[in-house]
Amino acid sequence: MHSVPNHLVWAILMTLFCCLPGGIVALVYASRVDALMSGRQFDAAREASDKARFWCLVSLFTPLLGFAAYLLLIAFGLGLGALSGGY
């Protein structure tokens, strides 16, 4: 029997702490893995596992990229102060 990780713990953590939409997608795929494994659909389980991992990574890097973009805006003087008219 093959062993396919379901990434459920990571999906839950990404949903709670990083990016809600991507985490929910990761949760959906992670929850399918065990059911597919019990149905002996190993290729489909591997595919669901890979998609769960992908969406966990998307959920992790989305806020990091957003924060980096905001730091760049601040560095160029275009942060929230520019929107409110303050200097």
pLDDT digits (tens, 9 = 90+) for 22-60: 999 999 999 999 999 999 999 999 999 999 999 999 999
Residue 6 banded pLDDT, cuts 50, 70, 90? very high
30 falls within a domain: yes
Q: 């939409």: which residue's tokens?
A: 21
- Give the pLDDT score at 86: 53
Name the domain count of the chain. 1
Per the domain annotation, does 47 fall within a domain?
A: yes
Q: How many CA atoms lie within 13 A of 79 on its CB side?
A: 13
Q: Which residues contact 80 (CB under 8 A, 6 or more apart)?
A: none
40 within domain boundaries: yes
pTM above 0.95, yes or no: no
Identify whether 38 is part of a domain: yes
User: Is residue 74 in a domain?
Assistant: no
CA 86/CA 42 separation, integer angstroms = 58
Structural element, H or E, at residue 74: helix 42-75
Rg of the chain (C-alpha set): 18
Residue 42 in domain:
yes
**Residue 8 confidence (pLDDT):** 96
Sign of CA dihedral 61, 63, 66, 71: negative
Let me know if residue 86 belongs to a domain: no
